[in-house]
Amino acid sequence: MSQIGNKKLSQKFLLVGFFVLVTLSSGPAMFSNVAHAATGTSTLTVNTQAANGTMITGLFVTLEDPTTLAVISWGFSPVSFTLQQGQNYLVVPSDYNNIIFDNWSDSGSNIREKSIAITSDALITAIYRDQSAIGPSSVTVKSSDDLGISLPGFYTILQQNGTTIKDGFTPQSFGVNNNQQYQTGVEDYGNYTFSHWGDNVTDRLHSITTGTGTTTNLSAIYKTVSTLHTNQIKFGLVAKDPLNNETKTQQQLVANSRYWIYGGDAPARNAPYDFFKNILGLNIGVQATSDGAWAGIYAASPRETATLFHSVVTTPVSTIPNQFYENAMYVQTSQAKINYVTCVAITSSAGTSWAVVYTGGNATQATQFHVLWADTSANQPLTRDCTIITNGNNYLKVYLDHNMVYTNSTLDLQMPGPFNVFLEPQSSYPGKLLNGTFLDYYITAGEDVKVINLPASADTVYLVDSAGNALATAKAGGNTADLDVGAYHFPLAGTIKVYDSNNVLITSSPAIPDIYGGNEYSMNSSTLPQPPTALTASATSLSQIKLSWTTPVDNGGSTITGYEIDRSDDSQNTWSAIVQNTGTTSTSYNDTGLSSTPVYTYRVSAINSIGTSSPSNTATATTQVASPGITVYAHRIPAAYWDPCFAATCSAGTGPDAAMFVTLLDSANNVVQTGFANEDGYTFLGLNSNSTYYVYPADCSSCHGSTHDVIFQYWGDDHSTVRPRAATVGANLHEWYSCTNNCAGGP
């Protein structure tokens, strides 16, 4: 028996908090994770911290009724509860592993259950100690990247004489005895792989000798492992039929056979037979006409060029009164020879047994039978998962229930491909029609997954499932590795991980779905680009911000084709992609249509043929703020010859809906802005609050197509007639006009 072992690769989770599953004993009280507020309530906040003042998050805390001890509310520190003012409660913080409650900071009490009643908002703090750090000497393990940036949360162990005695997550302090020898080690996580210790020791397991009351500080240095883009260049799946995905009668299957062809000698022998599909699978039944009169019926595949053949075979009964019943999957050469390999269930009065059989023959019948493997144990299952792997020449391997029961590479099978697969029961028992059942049929081009274009330093390649189990491993040779996955049910899903000769992870693939034997993958040397750099954001108007950045230092070996631009207007709590892909190599972008209220934060990611980089630095900007302007109002001097106002309506009545032209000048007599004013006013915006401007109200000759003229007369505040009028930001000016030349005839 040989099967790939489930080697557990390093995989731990970064610890961002301690999480505890609490099971309450049964009782009359129910609890909820929400405390309902009522009139006269205050908020109690519970913090947890180490004795040195370091905040600890994620410790489980309950709020309880002091009489019944029923849990009223719960949460993870820091946590806030809503309490009825003046009512007594119990606050109970929990331990986690070696993190043990020590005392309450306000009283120093080491009684865990704290009785409390509050009349206003309050904060209490529980102090914890690290039990693992207790000892006359200590060893502290930290972790960082090669730039010195702290990377907490890597799994670390403390060993003595080859036995792990303590463990934890970095940064971790272990209490140890004086004058002893220890070893400490760390594990990898994700794309971070151990590089060396801070004292340049490269062995992952670092030896330590303590003194008397000594403190040993070690820092594990990690490097980031690139993820290589993985191209699938060959597809191993040849054919697939679940066999239980439809319900069809014999007549329907014959009328629309699609993949399978149905046949056998049962019809010619007038032997009863049937076949149909339902949720149990493809059911094929046959009954002999008399004792010893063998009859068979089958479903046959078309000729297939494949190497691995799989189905689940079920025989219907464990015993029959006499004669024999066989149910099997056969892999047979499509040439004019009855040469085949089968995994078969053989049922008789003695019971059911399973065997692997090779049969040779001529064009009309089998002439020799070779039992290559047989299970002679009692009470064998009626269902077996069967995988046959063969080249039809010298090589044969068979798995039952994913355990290899036979392998040989020196055979003389004489069954060249392409092959036909037969799902077939045969019976010499006349007592009853017995249905064999078949499920989960698939055939593939091989039993190996080939990986090519490996890095030059590659030594060992693993296929690892999502739980970190090594499904297959192979040595790299010539930048290629063949991973034997024939023992497994297809399709698989996993990640290809590549290690060097020092067992250091040097690269890995993304997660790969739908892995079949015969698949071939190329580890692309191109990678994701580095992020863009030097992102800046600057307002260019009241509603527009301009972004600029620098192209990535490293494009990952593949040309940058565009950029993704993300924006946040809630202090980076959430991000939205305002441009998924600019589709251009331009390193600037104008974000338009913005409002003046939010603070906008941006980040940019580069895109190449492999994918999208991690984001750049962030840049923040707000749109330009409109400063208070200069507002000009135009009025009509009341007279009987015209309407009371320019505007369509005003407090004095209605007007012709007209306006007067106004020019705003700077100190050099340059035109800054122009506009039209009436009684509702016109405001010049975007002005410099430190500058002096000049307002010039224009006369209107033959005004608005009429025969009369509308003439500026004076300013409303001082009746000055001087034009232009000096003004600064914030001014409100009122112009007054009169009318000449037949004013009663128009506006």
Burial degree of 214 (CB within 10 A; 0-12, 13-18, 19+): middle
List helix spans (H) across 384-541.
none
Q: Which of 177, 183, 109 has the alpha carbon at shortest distance from 137?
A: 177
- Amino acid (1-letter code) at residue 683: T
**How much is the pTM?**
0.52
Residue 688: HSE in the Cβ half-sphere, 13 Å Cα cutoff: 8
Pairing of strands 215-224, 137-145: parallel
**One-letter amino acid of 551:** T
- At residue 90, the pLDDT reads 93
Which residue stretches of the chain have pLDDT < 70? 1-39, 131-135, 226-229, 525-526, 541-542, 625-627, 704, 742, 744-747
Query: How many Å is the maximal CA-CA distance in the chain?
Result: 131
DSSP-assigned letters across all residues of 595-614 = -SSSPEEEEEEEE-SS-BPP
DSSP letters along 77-92, please?
SSEEEEEETT--EEEE
Per DSSP, the residues of 399-428 read EETTEEEEEESS-----PSSEEEEEEEEE-
Q: Is 222 within 8 Å of 194 (Cβ atoms)? A: yes
CB 264 within 8 A of CB 294: no
Name the CA radius of gyration of the chain, rounded: 42
What is the rounded distance in angstroms from the CA atom of residue 179 to the CA atom of residue 177?
7
* Tens digit of each residue's pLDDT (9 = 90 or more) over 318-374: 999 999 999 999 999 998 888 999 999 999 999 999 999 999 988 888 889 999 999
Question: How many C-beta atoms surround the C-beta of residue 190 within 10 A?
Answer: 13
